[in-house]
């Protein structure tokens, strides 16, 4: 498999405060990489650097061989290769589910409206929301809004999907439906980079686990089962002991 995302010596600061230190990571096409770690360790900032939402102070990020550089003319085109789903949904309140989903493919990618609508309805059906296509965001649960956000990202045909703590704002009973949608995406071969605190989900979906702490990659492994049973580093062992999760 070819490397789709490459991060080399990434350095990120906020006002002199170092948030990410010398991060090196590559993700292959079709791979699911799950990033875990304590709150405030730089996980979400790292995702935002991948699609150019944050300026970086050092290093290089490339997606499909193209450098991600905020402010450059081609950043809009590069961002279309990177779908990002946030924990806050970011749906337009005055537009219906279907209108939210089709807006960017039609306006940004200039695709044929009827084709986009057809694909949107198919995707909404796959995530169990076909009957909600004419609803407005205020009429949806948090889990339903998050699934709409996932459909919206998929409609852009991105090369890689980024998920930033997408269940963090959800009630516990709504978490499962969103995670199941993401599991289905993983099984379909989507390239995904996921930041999550859902350890059981991480164990189930990941091809590789990357453990962040204090802006650095402390541990990285493809032996996911072994990581959750006996991680190599003391820091990861201590972190995992704070979670209780079902096998």
- What domains are there in the chain, each with its CATH number? 3-240 (3.40.50.300)
Question: What distances in angstroms separate CA 84 from CA 45, 53, 154, 191, 241, one per listed residue?
Answer: 13, 11, 9, 12, 30
The Cβ-side half-sphere exposure at 46, using a 13 Å CA radius, reads 36
Is 224 in contact with 247 (CB distance < 8 Å)? Answer: no
> Average pLDDT of 225-247?
85
Amino acid 245: pLDDT: 47
Three-state secondary structure call for residue 189: coil
Amino acid 244: pLDDT: 58
Of 4, 32, 41, 47, give the one whose Cα is nearest residue 164. Answer: 47
Amino acid 246: pLDDT: 43
Which range, of 33-42, 110-119, 130-139, 168-177, averages the lowest pLDDT?
168-177
Amino acid 78: pLDDT: 87
Amino acid 191: pLDDT: 96
Is 116 in contact with 106 (CB distance < 8 Å)? Answer: yes
| Vertex 27: Cα angle to 203 and 61 (nearest 5) | 130
Amino acid 2: pLDDT: 80
Per residue, the 3-state secondary structure of 12-72, as one string, reads EEECCEEEEEEEEEEEECCCEEEEECCCCCCHHHHHHHHCCCCCCCEEEEEECCEECCCCC
109/247: higher pLDDT: 109
Amino acid 76: pLDDT: 83
The average confidence (pLDDT) of the chain is 93
Amino acid 73: pLDDT: 80
Amino acid 1: pLDDT: 59
């Amino acid at each position: 498999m070819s490397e789709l995302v490459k991060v080399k010596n990434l350095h990120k600061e906020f006002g002199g405060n170092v948030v990410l230190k010398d991060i090196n990571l590559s993700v292959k096409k079709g791979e699911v990489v799950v990033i875990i770690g304590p709150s405030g360790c730089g996980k979400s900032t790292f995702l935002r650097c991948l699609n150019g939402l944050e300026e970086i102070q050092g290093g290089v990020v490339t997606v499909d061989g193209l450098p991600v550089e905020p402010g450059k003319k081609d950043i809009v085109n590069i961002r279309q290769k990177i779908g990002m789903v946030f924990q806050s949904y970011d749906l337009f309140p005055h537009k219906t589910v279907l209108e939210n989903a089709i807006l960017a493919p039609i306006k940004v990618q200039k695709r044929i409206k009827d084709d986009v609508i057809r694909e949107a309805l198919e995707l909404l059906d796959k995530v169990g929301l076909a009957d909600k296509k004419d609803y407005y965001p205020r009429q949806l649960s948090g889990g339903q809004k998050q699934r709409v956000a996932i459909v919206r990202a998929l409609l852009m045909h991105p090369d890689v999907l980024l998920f930033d703590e997408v269940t963090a704002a959800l009630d516990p009973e709504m978490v499962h439906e969103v995670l199941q949608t993401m599991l289905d995406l993983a099984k379909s071969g989507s390239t995904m980079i996921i930041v999550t605190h859902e350890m059981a989900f991480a164990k189930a979906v990941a091809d590789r686990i990357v453990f962040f702490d204090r802006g650095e990659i402390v541990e990285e492994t493809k032996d996911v089962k072994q990581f959750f049973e006996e991680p190599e580093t003391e820091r990861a062992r201590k972190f995992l002991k704070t979670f209780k999760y079902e096998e």
